[in-house]
């Protein structure tokens, strides 16, 4: 269970980061072109301003004829941490719930309603290899009931005399 959760979490982290970001680090420290217009730092010099493709290859932002550096995006970072926290919390809750249910079932503390119980009880199923045991169990179960029935009939007849 936990073994499948870790790769799923890794895949989730990779999907959340953008294609141009640098993997997991892009998830924990996302960069953005958003921000205050006045705080922009030039990127790539005059060549990048004249050539928007060069600006984008340098992983800078290009808007309104200006090439500028990306900035850390705190809003996106908070959203990513929130998603990571809820994902880890959900996995932890699921693992704990499974462990508690398994423990309660082993201690015979779990009494499920009829519609949640399985159709077949494992303790009543018989494998194909134990045919002899089944037939001997049937013979044993038949003989004590016959003996009890005869004994009670004899006791009833003896009381009448």
Whether 116 is in a domain gets the answer no
Q: Is residue 43 part of a domain?
A: yes
Name the domain count of the chain.
2
Of 45, 46, 42, 16, give the one whose Cα is nearest residue 28.
Answer: 16
Q: What residue numbers bound the domain in which 29 lies?
A: 2-106
Q: Are residues 88 and 14 in the same domain?
A: yes
Residues 31 and 87 in one domain: yes
68 with 132, same domain?
Answer: no
User: How much is the pTM?
Assistant: 0.50
Residues 73 and 23 in one domain: yes
**Same structural domain for residues 67 and 146?**
no
The region, left, alpha or beta by phi > 0 then psi within -120 to 50, assigned to residue 146 is alpha
pLDDT in tens, 122-148: 555 555 555 555 555 555 555 555 555
pLDDT digits (tens, 9 = 90+) for 99-116: 999 999 888 887 777 776
Same domain, 74 and 138: no
Q: Helix count (H) and strand count (E) of the chain?
A: 6, 4
Q: Identify whether residues 79 and 154 lie together within a single domain.
A: no
- What does the pLDDT look like over 25-44, one tens digit per residue? 888 888 888 877 677 888 88
Q: Spell out where 10-161 has E strands.
A: 31-32, 61-63, 66-68, 71-72
According to DSSP, residue 161 is labeled -
142 and 90 in a common domain: no
Share of residues in the chain with pLDDT > 90 (%): 17
Whether residue 66 sits in one domain with residue 102: yes
* H, E, C per residue of 61-96: EEECCEEECCEECHHHHHHHHHHHHHHHHHHHHHHH
Are residue 20 and residue 66 in the same domain, yes or no? Answer: yes
């Amino acid at each position: 269970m936990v073994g499948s959760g870790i790769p799923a979490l890794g895949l989730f982290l990779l999907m959340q980061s953008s294609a141009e970001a640098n993997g997991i680090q892009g998830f924990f420290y996302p960069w953005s072109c958003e921000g205050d217009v006045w705080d922009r730092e030039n990127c790539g010099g005059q060549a990048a301003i004249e050539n928007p493709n060069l600006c984008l290859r340098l992983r800078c932002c290009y808007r309104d004829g200006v090439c500028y550096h990306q900035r850390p995006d705190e809003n996106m970072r908070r959203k990513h941490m929130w998603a990571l926290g809820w994902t880890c919390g959900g996995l932890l809750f699921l693992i704990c719930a499974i462990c508690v249910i398994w423990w309660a079932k082993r201690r015979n503390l779990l009494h499920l309603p009829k519609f949640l119980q399985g159709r077949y009880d494992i303790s009543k199923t018989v494998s194909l290899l134990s045919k002899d045991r089944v037939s001997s169990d049937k013979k044993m179960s038949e003989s004590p009931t016959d003996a009890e029935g005869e004994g009670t009939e004899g006791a009833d007849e003896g009381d009448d005399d």
